[in-house]
């Protein structure tokens, strides 16, 4: 794409580390002058029935699937508010609507993303009409 005038920036980032997510967003703003879109699509789905007590799997799902979205919003939102523009797109699963055996924690994290997206829309929209918040389902 660079032959056609495109530019790309690669920054290795662990979405469970708030400081790394902030570094990613700050690098994008420094390189391109602004952040237009933040797509939150990281997710894990280990099959983890509650009775197996796989607490480490649960913690990892919560860290990636939910806290990762929170960290992305925390990093991008201040820039978008200063710019008076931008889009945050949070991708969640239909598992946030329909719980199946073995996926209770996964479903809970996706439901949390849905609730967070709606809360973000309600809290920020009245003061920043140029910003758009979206929730996509895979």
The whole-number pLDDT of residue 47 equals: 84
Burial 40-63 (b: 16+ CB within 10 A, else e): beebbbeebeeeeebeebbebbbb
The whole-number pLDDT of residue 21 equals: 97
Q: In the predicted model, what is the mean pLDDT of the chain?
A: 87
Q: Known catalytic residue: 106?
A: yes
Candidate list 58, 71, 106, 133, residue with the active-site label? 106
List pLDDT tens digits, range 81-90: 999 889 999 9
The whole-number pLDDT of residue 136 equals: 55
Question: Would you place residue 120 in the very low, low, confident or very high pLDDT band (cuts 50, 70, 90)?
Answer: very high
List pLDDT tens digits, range 35-44: 999 999 998 8
The pTM assigned to this predicted structure is 0.85
Residue 52 confidence (pLDDT) above 80: yes
Residue-range domains of the chain with CATH: 13-137 (3.40.50.720)
How many other CB atoms are found less than 10 A from the CB of residue 29? Answer: 16
């Amino acid at each position: 794409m660079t032959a056609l005038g495109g530019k790309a920036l690669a920054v290795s980032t662990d979405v469970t580390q708030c400081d790394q997510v902030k570094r990613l967003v700050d690098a994008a703003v420094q390189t391109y002058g602004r952040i237009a879109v933040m797509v939150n699509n990281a997710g894990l789905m280990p099959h983890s029935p509650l009775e197996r007590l796989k607490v480490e799997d649960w913690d990892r799902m919560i860290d990636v699937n939910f806290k990762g979205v929170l960290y992305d919003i925390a990093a991008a939102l201040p820039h978008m508010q200063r710019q008076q523009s931008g889009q945050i797109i949070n991708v969640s699963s239909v598992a946030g609507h329909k719980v199946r055996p073995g996926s209770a924690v996964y479903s809970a994290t996706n439901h949390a993303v849905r609730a967070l997206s709606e809360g973000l829309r309600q809290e920020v929209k009245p003061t920043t009409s140029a910003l758009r918040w979206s929730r996509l389902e895979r």
